[in-house]
Chains A and B, each alone.
Chain A
Amino acid sequence: MLTLFTAVQGRQVEARLEEAQVVAQLVRRCASGDPLAWEEIVQRFHRRIYNICYRFAGSADDAQDLTQEVFIKVFRTVGSFDGEKASFNTWMTTVARNLLVDHFRKKRNDRATDSIDSVQGADEDGPTLADRLASDGPSAQVHVESRERQEMVHRALRHISPDLREAVILRDLQDMDYREIAQILKVPEGTVKSRINRGRAELARLLQRTYKQAL
């Protein structure tokens, strides 16, 4: 069992190294002004960056705008990327995180007035997520329930503190390792692990309370 786990880990490491080499070559071509290399980078990373932005910002519109901003900044500063300091993935996530932190600071007041039980979308008279989950009942389809649960997690994520949220998102939603997260957040690995634990626990408490209300 341990041998199998080690072998899987080894293959993952090799795959990551190969991808890192390919990305490094793409970045070099992009820095020298190759538009095709830039397009390839956008193709590879847009989904990941969009998801990070979506989890941080909370709305699809904000996520789209922020993703564009991230790529514009990456495009402008790609020449300053140093492959010896960090991987391109880590560097790009750092750029995204910094932009998101700025965005969060601007929208702090909006967040303070938001509530996990607030209505979704623009329909102010519509039911809350908890109400809709309660009204679905046991006959609700699994797919719909899964989507609703994802939505609950997504909304709950917006209500934990930003320090914990970014650590949790990078670890559990972006599968980054602790060293990379420590580089991005510029804190020690021990702090990263502590934040991840507290973030997960806080999220669970929030969701448990909401889910109980829904049921």
Chain B
Amino acid sequence: MEAMLQPVADLFGPTWPAVWTLLKIVAIIAPLLGCVAYLTLAERKVIGYMQVRIGPNRVGPFGLLQPVADGVKLLLKEIIVPSGANKGLFILGPILAIAPSLAAWSVVPFGDGMVLANVNAGLLFLLAITSMEVYGVIVAGWASNSKYPFLGSMRAAAQMVSYEVSMGFALICVLLISASLNLTDIVTTQGSGRFHDMGLSFLSWNWLPLFPMFVVYVISGIAETNRAPFDVVEGEAEVVAGHMVEYSGMAFALFFLAEYANMILVSILTSILFLGGWLSPVGFLPDGFIWLALKTACILFLFLWARATFPRFRYDHIMRLGWKVFIPVTLVWVVVVAVWMISPLSIWK
């Protein structure tokens, strides 16, 4: 690879590292946006079949060109800035929403060594970046200078800060047993243990010993991305569309993109942290990116399934679940795991 790229590198001279990094970024972002587009289609199809409908089927074969049509429509629409809005922040809102959800991908490993930035504190970086997603919602809601968006952004602020805590505790358990904040290391440590030696490596992944944390993490992930049944932020029955009410065209599309990119991010993180990332579930099959993609797709399906199944939570129930159920459970489990690790029964030695 290096040798093959050498002539190109010579062409660019000293700017080559920057160009190479940019190329890698494009190589991540472009497929990601494609995935986002087709995730919207998948969502409509899945929910359609669950509700015994067909879903979009007019644009292209099986409706496969529907996302393209949607994209073109949103691109061509005018962005209307309400007269009472705070203009600068109104424009900044969608940018703040999309930026962190793309930036987080810089530390996500897609395979052994296939990562844009293999930083030591990758897990922390992810926590920090995902904690900033709320700004897009808050700023948009406030800058719109309108009641429903403001209510939506207030809800978002409280909800996302609450679920971040339990998410953080779940991640502490993961980092306790892998003794590293590096995501690649977290995946590699899952590929060892008694079950792995028996060829049943899916039983040695983190999801089994950390089962409560796995559940908490997935549910908190749904809450963090403001997806149904935790979508009170935009709950159309109550606050119409929350922070997005006043947005149209591409500004609205950015929120949309951010939401789906976050969904994929949470899914891929769940796969990496709890489901062994790119490791193959059984001994006789090789590891590879395909496993990561499959696992991510399964979790994404879970997201869509939940949306089609559950009615929306009431706001106080969301707060109760976060503070009175998840945080105590995760706190206790952190202690349990810590004690387990230093006890003779430890399976991580």
Chains A and B are bound partners: no
